[in-house]
Amino acid sequence: MTVTKFGYELNYKTEFIDLRPYADLAMRRMWRIQFPNKYGASIIGGGPGAYGDGEKTFEVMILYEGEPCYDTPITNDVLGYQTEDEVHEILKQIENLT
Phi, psi of 91 (to 5 degrees): -60, -40
pLDDT in tens, 32-46: 888 889 999 988 887
> What are 24-30's contacts with CB under 8 Å, separation 24+?
27/54, 28/54, 29/54
Contact 1, 17 (CB under 8 A): yes
pTM of the model: 0.76
Stronger pLDDT, 45 or 69, i.e. the higher one: 69
pLDDT at 60: 96
pLDDT at 3: 56
Residues in the chain: 98
* Residue-level pLDDT at 17: 42
Return the pLDDT at 80.
Answer: 97
